[in-house]
Copies of this chain bind each other. A is one copy, B any other.
Amino acid sequence: MARNVEFDEELAISRAMDLFWKKGYTGTSMRDLCEVMGVNASSIYNTIGDKHQLFIRCIKYYTESRMEAARKQLKLIDSPFKAIEKFINASAHAITNEPDSCLAIKTTFELAVSDEQVQKILKKDNDFTYSLILDLVTKALEQKEITISQDKEMLTDFIINHFTGWHESFIIHKDEKRIKKMAKFLIEQLSR
Protein backbone atom coordinates (compact mmCIF):
# COMPACT_ATOMS: atom_id res chain seq x y z
CA MET A 1 0.00 0.00 0.00
CA ALA A 2 1.41 3.34 0.97
CA ARG A 3 3.61 5.33 3.31
CA ASN A 4 2.48 6.79 6.61
CA VAL A 5 5.48 8.65 7.93
CA GLU A 6 4.64 12.06 9.29
CA PHE A 7 6.41 15.09 10.71
CA ASP A 8 6.65 15.24 14.52
CA GLU A 9 3.27 16.81 15.10
CA GLU A 10 3.68 17.63 18.80
CA LEU A 11 7.00 19.35 18.20
CA ALA A 12 5.52 21.30 15.29
CA ILE A 13 2.50 22.34 17.37
CA SER A 14 4.78 23.41 20.20
CA ARG A 15 6.80 25.61 17.84
CA ALA A 16 3.68 27.08 16.27
CA MET A 17 2.44 27.84 19.77
CA ASP A 18 5.63 29.77 20.54
CA LEU A 19 5.12 31.94 17.46
CA PHE A 20 1.41 32.60 18.18
CA TRP A 21 2.47 33.39 21.74
CA LYS A 22 4.93 36.01 20.56
CA LYS A 23 2.93 37.59 17.73
CA GLY A 24 -0.72 36.90 18.50
CA TYR A 25 -3.23 35.10 16.30
CA THR A 26 -3.83 37.82 13.73
CA GLY A 27 -0.20 38.93 13.75
CA THR A 28 1.11 35.48 12.80
CA SER A 29 1.23 34.43 9.14
CA MET A 30 1.01 30.92 7.77
CA ARG A 31 4.37 31.42 6.06
CA ASP A 32 6.09 32.19 9.36
CA LEU A 33 4.29 29.23 10.92
CA CYS A 34 5.51 26.90 8.16
CA GLU A 35 9.06 28.11 8.72
CA VAL A 36 9.20 27.56 12.49
CA MET A 37 7.30 24.28 12.20
CA GLY A 38 9.67 23.05 9.52
CA VAL A 39 6.69 21.83 7.55
CA ASN A 40 5.12 22.86 4.28
CA ALA A 41 1.76 24.54 4.13
CA SER A 42 0.27 21.62 2.22
CA SER A 43 1.18 19.23 5.02
CA ILE A 44 -0.39 21.48 7.63
CA TYR A 45 -3.63 21.78 5.65
CA ASN A 46 -3.69 18.04 5.01
CA THR A 47 -3.11 16.97 8.62
CA ILE A 48 -4.14 19.77 10.98
CA GLY A 49 -6.33 22.05 8.92
CA ASP A 50 -6.42 25.79 8.40
CA LYS A 51 -4.86 28.56 10.48
CA HIS A 52 -7.71 28.65 12.97
CA GLN A 53 -7.65 24.90 13.57
CA LEU A 54 -3.89 25.08 14.01
CA PHE A 55 -4.34 27.82 16.59
CA ILE A 56 -6.95 25.78 18.44
CA ARG A 57 -4.46 22.93 18.64
CA CYS A 58 -1.85 25.36 20.00
CA ILE A 59 -3.92 26.83 22.84
CA LYS A 60 -5.18 23.38 23.73
CA TYR A 61 -1.56 22.27 23.91
CA TYR A 62 -0.73 25.32 26.02
CA THR A 63 -3.58 24.95 28.49
CA GLU A 64 -3.20 21.18 28.81
CA SER A 65 0.52 21.50 29.48
CA ARG A 66 -0.18 24.12 32.14
CA MET A 67 -2.87 22.01 33.78
CA GLU A 68 -0.54 19.04 33.92
CA ALA A 69 2.25 21.17 35.41
CA ALA A 70 -0.04 22.71 38.03
CA ARG A 71 -1.31 19.30 39.08
CA LYS A 72 2.24 18.02 39.50
CA GLN A 73 3.41 21.13 41.31
CA LEU A 74 0.73 21.06 43.98
CA LYS A 75 -0.01 17.42 44.73
CA LEU A 76 3.16 16.83 46.74
CA ILE A 77 2.51 19.61 49.24
CA ASP A 78 0.84 18.49 52.44
CA SER A 79 -0.42 21.78 53.90
CA PRO A 80 -3.21 23.29 51.78
CA PHE A 81 -2.19 26.80 52.78
CA LYS A 82 1.44 26.16 51.85
CA ALA A 83 0.22 24.88 48.49
CA ILE A 84 -1.76 28.08 47.91
CA GLU A 85 1.25 30.12 48.98
CA LYS A 86 3.48 28.21 46.60
CA PHE A 87 0.99 28.65 43.77
CA ILE A 88 0.86 32.42 44.32
CA ASN A 89 4.63 32.76 44.55
CA ALA A 90 5.21 30.53 41.53
CA SER A 91 2.78 32.67 39.54
CA ALA A 92 4.49 35.90 40.61
CA HIS A 93 7.85 34.41 39.72
CA ALA A 94 6.72 33.19 36.30
CA ILE A 95 5.08 36.52 35.49
CA THR A 96 8.24 38.49 36.27
CA ASN A 97 10.68 36.09 34.65
CA GLU A 98 9.15 34.84 31.43
CA PRO A 99 9.82 36.88 28.30
CA ASP A 100 6.26 36.83 27.01
CA SER A 101 3.08 37.28 28.98
CA CYS A 102 0.63 34.40 29.42
CA LEU A 103 -0.72 33.08 26.10
CA ALA A 104 -4.12 32.29 27.61
CA ILE A 105 -4.58 35.87 28.82
CA LYS A 106 -3.34 37.38 25.57
CA THR A 107 -5.77 35.15 23.69
CA THR A 108 -8.61 36.04 26.05
CA PHE A 109 -8.29 39.69 25.12
CA GLU A 110 -7.56 39.12 21.43
CA LEU A 111 -10.03 36.39 20.52
CA ALA A 112 -12.23 35.10 23.33
CA VAL A 113 -14.68 38.01 23.07
CA SER A 114 -15.58 37.14 19.48
CA ASP A 115 -14.57 33.48 19.16
CA GLU A 116 -16.80 31.11 21.10
CA GLN A 117 -14.66 28.04 20.49
CA VAL A 118 -11.60 29.77 21.90
CA GLN A 119 -13.63 31.14 24.80
CA LYS A 120 -14.76 27.66 25.76
CA ILE A 121 -11.22 26.26 25.73
CA LEU A 122 -10.02 29.11 27.91
CA LYS A 123 -12.99 28.69 30.23
CA LYS A 124 -12.08 25.04 30.67
CA ASP A 125 -8.54 26.09 31.59
CA ASN A 126 -9.88 28.68 34.04
CA ASP A 127 -12.30 26.19 35.56
CA PHE A 128 -9.47 23.74 36.08
CA THR A 129 -7.35 26.25 38.00
CA TYR A 130 -10.48 27.30 39.88
CA SER A 131 -11.27 23.77 41.05
CA LEU A 132 -7.63 23.18 41.96
CA ILE A 133 -7.52 26.27 44.17
CA LEU A 134 -11.05 25.79 45.47
CA ASP A 135 -10.03 22.41 46.79
CA LEU A 136 -7.03 23.90 48.60
CA VAL A 137 -9.05 26.84 49.94
CA THR A 138 -11.72 24.48 51.25
CA LYS A 139 -9.14 22.40 53.09
CA ALA A 140 -7.32 25.47 54.38
CA LEU A 141 -10.58 26.81 55.76
CA GLU A 142 -11.32 23.49 57.47
CA GLN A 143 -7.88 23.57 59.06
CA LYS A 144 -8.38 27.26 59.94
CA GLU A 145 -5.26 28.21 57.96
CA ILE A 146 -7.37 30.77 56.15
CA THR A 147 -9.44 33.09 58.31
CA ILE A 148 -10.13 36.12 56.17
CA SER A 149 -13.49 34.89 54.87
CA GLN A 150 -15.65 31.76 54.83
CA ASP A 151 -16.87 32.24 51.26
CA LYS A 152 -14.56 29.73 49.60
CA GLU A 153 -15.83 30.24 46.06
CA MET A 154 -15.35 33.99 46.26
CA LEU A 155 -11.95 33.57 47.91
CA THR A 156 -10.83 31.27 45.11
CA ASP A 157 -11.90 33.81 42.50
CA PHE A 158 -10.27 36.55 44.54
CA ILE A 159 -6.91 34.77 44.67
CA ILE A 160 -6.76 33.76 41.02
CA ASN A 161 -7.93 37.18 39.93
CA HIS A 162 -4.68 38.86 40.97
CA PHE A 163 -2.48 37.17 38.37
CA THR A 164 -3.90 38.87 35.30
CA GLY A 165 -3.26 42.30 36.77
CA TRP A 166 0.27 41.30 37.66
CA HIS A 167 0.90 40.46 34.02
CA GLU A 168 -0.39 43.83 32.91
CA SER A 169 1.60 45.63 35.61
CA PHE A 170 4.81 43.89 34.61
CA ILE A 171 4.35 44.67 30.90
CA ILE A 172 3.80 48.34 31.70
CA HIS A 173 6.14 48.97 34.64
CA LYS A 174 8.66 46.10 34.35
CA ASP A 175 9.03 46.28 38.12
CA GLU A 176 9.36 42.91 39.80
CA LYS A 177 9.24 44.42 43.30
CA ARG A 178 5.74 45.78 42.86
CA ILE A 179 4.47 42.32 41.96
CA LYS A 180 6.35 40.63 44.79
CA LYS A 181 4.96 43.10 47.33
CA MET A 182 1.40 42.47 46.21
CA ALA A 183 1.97 38.71 46.35
CA LYS A 184 3.36 38.95 49.87
CA PHE A 185 0.46 41.12 50.99
CA LEU A 186 -2.09 38.77 49.45
CA ILE A 187 -0.63 35.78 51.28
CA GLU A 188 -0.50 37.68 54.58
CA GLN A 189 -4.11 38.70 54.22
CA LEU A 190 -5.37 35.17 53.75
CA SER A 191 -3.99 33.97 57.06
CA ARG A 192 -4.22 37.04 59.25
Q: Which residues of A approach B to under 8 Å, CB–CB?
A: 24, 26-27, 100-101, 105-106, 108-110, 112-113, 119, 122-123, 126, 148-149, 151, 154, 157-158, 160-169, 171-173, 178, 181-182, 185-186, 189
Contact = CB atoms under 8 A, between A and B. Distances in A.
A119 to B, nearest CB: 7
A87 to B, nearest CB: 15
A26 B110 CA distance: 10
A10 to B, nearest CB: 27
Copy number in the complex reads 2
A38 to B, nearest CB: 24
Contacts of A178: 154, 157
A183 B101 CA distance: 25
